[in-house]
Chains A and B, each alone.
Chain A
């Protein structure tokens, strides 16, 4: 749902999408109440590219509903980069291992440190188990500070499972713990292009993800 995994789209994949962050979860990204849950929902719009077979890069815009970009309120949507590098493929009993750097551009002096809202540096492993047509993809990771950048989006242990059944190959059930909340959801992959997720963040607040996937 929300917690990172060590899974990646295939090489040369471009994904365009949006995800809805419900009221009560979304935190303001600027100004006096930066980092505070204001009651407004948010919308994350993103583009993800599998730049190399083992490198995935995402650029994301996080908007807050009911806010306008105006000089008076000095609001501007949050922008962030994420780079994910797979260190090891899953093979035999060996899990896939991946490191991710999320919203840490300030650590490289590319933006101001106070501008980062979702910073996190993490390592995560994923391993798939199969039994009689059922597949269970389990992930476990740890997120911490990076070069003086405080881990905000994920902090500490996180993990989850995705379960595929033999009854609907293009659908799966999700459960994860993102280091703050428990989340559940259902994933659907349609026409090899569309990815839809419906779920509950903190087991109670509706969320969705809609993404279009294109093989370059």
Chain B
């Protein structure tokens, strides 16, 4: 029987297989190396929870930033790295999923060709950002990345941020500003996806404001962030909080559309009077005090300005509404507020939140000292105390404004456009 297979033919087949093997290794090996180069670049920069999935016509990349103070700067680094290290066709869609505490927060998509055009200078930022998609929809990307390897996990590292807090009263010429300056070291660790344990200590270092000089633990808590689908954020926090509250608080936010433009929010807290004293003994006076509020926020995306209205029951058993107008300028927040209770009492003023400390922290490690990322200062023009709340520590809902698509779109320009 002749199968048409002679030795010489077999030799030809061997050559064919060799060429095919060489082609496969050159093509896919090259892609894999390029992919690994990209991962290595992100890991060596200190970015975490890195995942890559290569689909037929899309590169999906997930990461978490715990290195840069400002999310837009971290995203700038990632986009730059994709443009420089990933060797795909120009038509490929690059989708970047940004995580926080392991939770998906926001996404950016662009064609690889446009990205290269931006980095090479043949496209300007406006042209690039017009074709890019800064999105709030993250579920699809999260699903795509679910089965891929997680490089440089962020969980169970310990951060030690140190911040400052200022209480003050404006006086006159011989003592123009009376201040109480507190240093607040903190220990915090993300234990699992969205789950944070943290404790914050406060130490008075300078005080000509009042007679309270004690140093003690002001926050000790466990906090769980949850994102359900694209639109719903939930946070549950239990522990000891500022203003001597002890109990639990639940915060929820629901985004009405596929953007950050309209947001519903609600908060519910059941607390007792309680705190840790200077010897770390827990003092508790049961009172089952309930605080709650609900409201709606409109964000003007052109001016990055929130108009926030909420109604509820607040710290000093006052019931009423709060209206805030807050402008976000990258990491800076400037806001004006009016709180009014049903009794007619008002609390009016303004507030600043500015970034402080280093723009880039040390690389994440088992135990990492760092500076707190912001300094917050309110001013009560006519302060009656209505509409106040306690602080239960940071969470994904409070941090979400840095991940807003419009914030990233605005902030990214400075880090991607070279002079």
Complex CA distance for A69 and B336, rounded to whole angstroms:
27
Q: Contacting chain B: which of A60-68, A88-96, A126-134, A146-154?
A: A60-68
Partner of B173, one of A49, A57, A68, A109: A68
Within 8 Å of chain B (Cβ to Cβ): is A105? yes
Partner of A65, one of B173, B327, B334: B173
Specify which chain A residues have a CB less than 8 angstroms from the CB of B330 in the assembled complex: 216
B296-333 contacts to A (CB < 8 Å): 303, 305, 327, 329-330, 332
Given A52-B303, A52-B305, A63-B173, does the pair A110, B348 have CB atoms closer than 8 Å? yes
Within 8 Å of chain B (Cβ to Cβ): is A35? no
B366-396 contacts to A (CB < 8 Å): 379, 381-382
B172 touches A68 (CB 8 A): yes
A110 touches B305 (CB 8 A): no
A51 touches B173 (CB 8 A): no
B332 touches A69 (CB 8 A): no
CB distance from B64 to the nearest CB of A (A): 27
A52 touches B381 (CB 8 A): no
Partner of B170, one of A51, A75, A77, A110: A77
A110 touches B381 (CB 8 A): yes
Complex CA distance for A72 and B172, rounded to whole angstroms:
14
Specify which chain B residues have a CB less than 8 angstroms from the CB of A216 in the assembled complex: 329-330, 332
* 0/1 string, A21-61, CB within 8 A of B gives 1: 00000000000000000000000000001011100010101
B172 touches A69 (CB 8 A): yes
Complex CA distance for A68 and B171, rounded to whole angstroms:
9
CB distance from B301 to the nearest CB of A (A): 13
Specify which chain A residues have a CB less than 8 angstroms from the CB of B101 in the assembled complex: none
Partner of A111, one of B303, B305, B382: B382
Partner of B172, one of A51, A63, A109: A63
Complex CA distance for A109 and B347, rounded to whole angstroms:
11
A79 touches B381 (CB 8 A): yes
A interface size (C-beta, 8 A): 23
Using CB atoms, name the residue of chain A closest to B346.
A110
Complex CA distance for A34 and B350, rounded to whole angstroms:
27
Partner of A52, one of B174, B327, B332, B348: B327
Using CB atoms, name the residue of chain A closest to B325.
A51
Specify which chain A residues have a CB less than 8 angstroms from the CB of B175 in the assembled complex: 69
Partner of B334, one of A51, A76, A105: A51
Specify which chain A residues have a CB less than 8 angstroms from the CB of B332 in the assembled complex: 216
Specify which chain A residues have a CB less than 8 angstroms from the CB of B329 in the assembled complex: 12, 216
Specify which chain A residues have a CB less than 8 angstroms from the CB of B350 in the assembled complex: 57, 59
B336 touches A57 (CB 8 A): yes
Partner of B382, one of A49, A63, A68, A110: A110
Complex CA distance for A61 and B305, rounded to whole angstroms:
27
Within 8 Å of chain B (Cβ to Cβ): is A81? yes
Specify which chain B residues have a CB less than 8 angstroms from the CB of A69 in the assembled complex: 171-172, 175
B270-296 contacts to A (CB < 8 Å): none
Complex CA distance for A77 and B167, rounded to whole angstroms:
19
Using CB atoms, name the residue of chain A closest to B178.
A69
B337-378 contacts to A (CB < 8 Å): 338, 346, 348, 350
Complex CA distance for A68 and B174, rounded to whole angstroms:
7
Specify which chain A residues have a CB less than 8 angstroms from the CB of B170 in the assembled complex: 61, 77
Which of A51, A68, A105, A111 counts the most chain B CB atoms within 10 A?
A51
Given A59-B350, A81-B381, A216-B332, does the pair A67, B172 have CB atoms closer than 8 Å? yes
Complex CA distance for A69 and B170, rounded to whole angstroms:
10
Partner of A77, one of B172, B327, B334, B379: B172
* 0/1 string, A125-164, CB within 8 A of B gives 1: 0000000000000000000000000000000000000000
* 0/1 string, A4-30, CB within 8 A of B gives 1: 000000001000000000000000000
Specify which chain A residues have a CB less than 8 angstroms from the CB of B305 in the assembled complex: 52
A53 touches B381 (CB 8 A): no
A49 touches B381 (CB 8 A): no
Complex CA distance for A49 and B305, rounded to whole angstroms:
14
Using CB atoms, name the residue of chain A closest to B174.
A68
Complex CA distance for A51 and B174, rounded to whole angstroms:
32
Which residues in A have some Cβ–Cβ distance to B below 8 Å? 12, 49, 51-53, 57, 59, 61, 63, 65, 67-69, 75-77, 79, 81, 105, 109-111, 216
Other A-B pairs beyond A52-B303, A69-B172, A110-B382, 7, CB < 8 Å = A57-B350, A63-B172, A68-B173, A75-B172, A76-B172, A111-B381, A216-B332
A-B contact pairs, 20 of them (CB 8 A): A51-B334, A52-B303, A53-B303, A59-B350, A61-B170, A63-B173, A67-B173, A68-B172, A69-B172, A76-B172, A77-B170, A77-B172, A81-B381, A105-B381, A110-B338, A110-B348, A110-B381, A110-B382, A216-B329, A216-B332
Q: Which 4 A-B pairs have the closest CB atoms?
A: A69-B172, A216-B329, A216-B332, A12-B329
Which residues in B have some Cβ–Cβ distance to A below 8 Å? 170-175, 303, 305, 327, 329-330, 332, 334, 336, 338, 346, 348, 350, 379, 381-382
